[in-house]
């Protein structure tokens, strides 16, 4: 961050603003630590954008995101907008943003910190030390495939979606997974449904080709998605990088969130083009809004992934180290069995990572 860093901030709905506030606290402290300039501007997205502008992804938000160096998003959606359909669904904003920015690679790390393993519903012995990176294809597959429809066929209703991948789409996400595996433990598990779907047969073939031609030093295995779900629960430590398509990655990443015991811990980075999108994996959690109970760690670790993507590895490391220390000390929100508030956790992480600074408006 030797230069000025421009971040478009999309706090969103529900607990989104609460956790984003803590992620910004950490980003500001990181910028001070690095003595660089940080420009933060907030924009509407999701339900609050629907209320104010009638659309979930307003033009001003689209333009700001495209012009920024990175986008930090909180969470979107809530009961108020649940009955919206089509382009007026909150989810449409998220999918639209991913497509707009061209962020085809969604990185979802799942690490089971020792202090949390005991809380995992899967049992401490099974999950302690599990360290997985899910690399999910994010701008293709059945989420975006055409044709798609919800219509009448004669007098009967019909719903239609298309799972489609081109070989270029598979090859580029495979390269992301193999490249990460080289920086980690050197193993990729590619997950598909090649015993049934042609789309998956292409996936498996192309992943194998990219492996053989460009990454022979990395080890590769293939699993069918149903078996992968079972293996994730039974032997989570056997995984390093999981490479998979949009729909399977959506499902497996929520499943993997059971390993550390709370969805609130998990960050994500969506990258691949010029501007990255960084957001916690959790949703807007309408049931706990405004209570100061939301776990900010997913958002804070998303900010750390932003720092890392912007070549600020040292600052990212400080944040991760601070998160681990506060977990060790039991400074955690109620989802992890603690009594600390969202703000207390954010302040503690900030102070451990970058030292004490005079408070100022966030
Ligand atoms: C996720 C979410 C989104 C997805 C929804 C909110 C559209 O579940 O990021 O995992 O399905 O991709
Ligand atoms: Mg999901």
- Could you identify the residue written with the tokens 């009955």? 83
Q: Ligand 1 centre and the CA of 106: distance in Å?
A: 11
Taking CA atoms only, the protein residue closest to ligand 1 atom 5 is 91
What does the pLDDT look like over 215-231, one tens digit per residue? 999 999 999 999 999 99
Taking CA atoms only, the protein residue closest to ligand 1 atom 1 is 250
Atom of ligand 1 nearest to the CA of 98: 12
pLDDT of residue 119: 82
Q: What residues does 188 pair with on adjacent strands?
A: 220, 241
Burial call 308-344: b when 16+ CB within 10 Å, e when fewer: bbbebeebbebbbebbbebbeeebbbbbbebebbbeb
Q: Which class for 91: exposed (0-12), middle (13-18), buried (19 or more C-beta within 10 A)?
A: middle
233 domain residue, yes or no: yes
H-helix segments, 4-140: 16-34, 47-53, 59-67, 90-101, 114-117, 124-127
Q: CA of 75: how far to CAs of 12, 79, 214, 239, 282, in Å? A: 5, 13, 37, 28, 7
Taking CA atoms only, the protein residue closest to ligand 1 atom 10 is 250
Q: Does residue 343 share a domain with residue 274? A: yes
CB 65 within 8 A of CB 275: yes
Whole-prediction pTM = 0.95
- Classify the C-alpha dihedral 20-24-27-29 as positive or negative: negative
143, 165, 192, 335: which is the annotated catalytic residue?
143
Cα gap 108→270, rounded to integer Å: 9
Range of weakest confidence among 34-48, 114-128, 162-176, 325-339: 114-128
13, 69, 192, 193: which is the annotated catalytic residue?
193
What does the pLDDT look like over 239-268, one tens digit per residue? 999 999 999 999 999 999 889 988 999 999
H-helix segments, 35-166: 47-53, 59-67, 90-101, 114-117, 124-127
Q: What residues does 187 pair with on adjacent strands?
A: 219
Helix axis angle for 167-183 and 198-214, nearest 10°, is: 50
Return mean pLDDT, the chain. 95
Average pLDDT over residues 187-203: 98
Taking CA atoms only, the protein residue closest to ligand 1 atom 8 is 250
Q: Does residue 290 share a domain with residue 227? A: no
119 domain residue, yes or no: no
126 domain residue, yes or no: no
120 domain residue, yes or no: no
Tell me: pLDDT of 359 over 70.
Answer: no
114 domain residue, yes or no: no
Tell me: pLDDT of 9 over 80.
Answer: yes
Find the distance separating the first CA and the last CA of the chain, reported in whole Å.
20
118 domain residue, yes or no: no
- Classify the C-alpha dihedral 358-290-321-331 as positive or negative: positive
Ligand lying nearest the CA atom of residue 247? 1
Q: Ligand 2 centre and the CA of 265: distance in Å?
A: 14
Q: Does residue 310 share a domain with residue 205? A: no
200 domain residue, yes or no: yes
Average pLDDT over residues 46-66: 98
* H or E element that contains 211: helix 198-214
Q: Is 256 in the pocket of ligand 1 (CB under 6 A)?
A: no
- Phi–psi pair at 265, nearest 5 degrees: -85, -15
Give 358's pLDDT tier (boundaries 50, 70, 90): low
Q: Which class for 36: exposed (0-12), middle (13-18), buried (19 or more C-beta within 10 A)?
A: middle
pLDDT of residue 121: 84
Ligand lying nearest the CA atom of residue 270? 1
% pLDDT > 70, the chain? 98
307 domain residue, yes or no: yes
Tell me: pLDDT of 168 over 60.
Answer: yes
Q: Is 91 in the pocket of ligand 1 (CB under 6 A)?
A: yes
Taking CA atoms only, the protein residue closest to ligand 1 atom 6 is 91
Write the CATH number for 353.
3.40.718.10
Q: Which class for 38: exposed (0-12), middle (13-18), buried (19 or more C-beta within 10 A)?
A: middle
Tell me: pLDDT of 71 over 50.
Answer: yes
143 given a catalytic annotation? yes
Q: Ligand 2 centre and the CA of 253: distance in Å?
A: 7
Which of 244, 250, 281 has most ligand 1 atoms within 8 Å of CB, for mutation? 250
**Range of 46's domain?**
1-103+266-362
């Amino acid at each position: 961050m030797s230069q000025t860093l421009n971040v478009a901030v999309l706090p969103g709905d529900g607990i989104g603003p609460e956790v984003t506030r803590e992620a910004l606290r950490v980003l500001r402290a990181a910028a001070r630590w690095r003595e660089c300039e940080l420009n933060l501007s907030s924009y509407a997205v999701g339900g609050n954008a629907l209320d104010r502008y009638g659309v979930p992804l307003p033009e001003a938000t689209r333009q700001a995101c495209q012009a920024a160096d990175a986008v930090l998003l909180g969470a979107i959606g809530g009961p108020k907008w649940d009955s919206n359909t089509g382009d007026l669904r909150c989810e449409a904003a998220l999918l639209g943003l991913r497509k707009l920015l061209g962020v085809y690679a969604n990185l979802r790390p799942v690490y089971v910190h020792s202090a949390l393993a005991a809380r995992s519903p899967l049992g401490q012995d099974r999950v302690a030390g599990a360290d997985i990176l899910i690399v999910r294809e994010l701008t293709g597959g059945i989420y975006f495939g055409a044709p798609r429809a919800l219509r009448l066929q004669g007098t009967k209703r019909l719903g239609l979606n298309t799972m489609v991948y081109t070989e270029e789409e598979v090859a580029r996400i495979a390269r992301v997974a193999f490249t990460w595996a080289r920086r980690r433990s050197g193993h990729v598990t590619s997950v598909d449904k090649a015993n049934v779907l042609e789309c998956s047969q292409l996936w498996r073939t192309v992943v194998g080709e990219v492996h053989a031609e460009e990454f022979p030093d990395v080890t590769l295995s293939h699993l069918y998605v149903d078996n992968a779900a079972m293996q994730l629960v039974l032997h989570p430590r056997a995984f390093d990088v999981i490479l998979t398509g949009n729909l399977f990655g959506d499902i497996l990443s929520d499943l993997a969130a059971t390993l550390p015991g709370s969805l609130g811990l998990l960050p994500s980075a969506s990258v691949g083009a010029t501007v990255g999108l960084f957001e916690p994996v959790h949703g807007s959690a309408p049931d706990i809004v405004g209570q100061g109970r939301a776990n900010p760690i997913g958002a804070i670790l998303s900010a750390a992934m932003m720092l890392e993507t912007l070549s600020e590895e040292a600052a990212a490391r400080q944040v991760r180290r601070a998160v681990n220390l506060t977990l060790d000390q039991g400074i955690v929100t109620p989802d992890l069995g603690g009594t600390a508030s969202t703000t207390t956790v954010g302040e503690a992480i900030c102070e451990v990572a970058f030292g004490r600074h005079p408070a100022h408006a966030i």
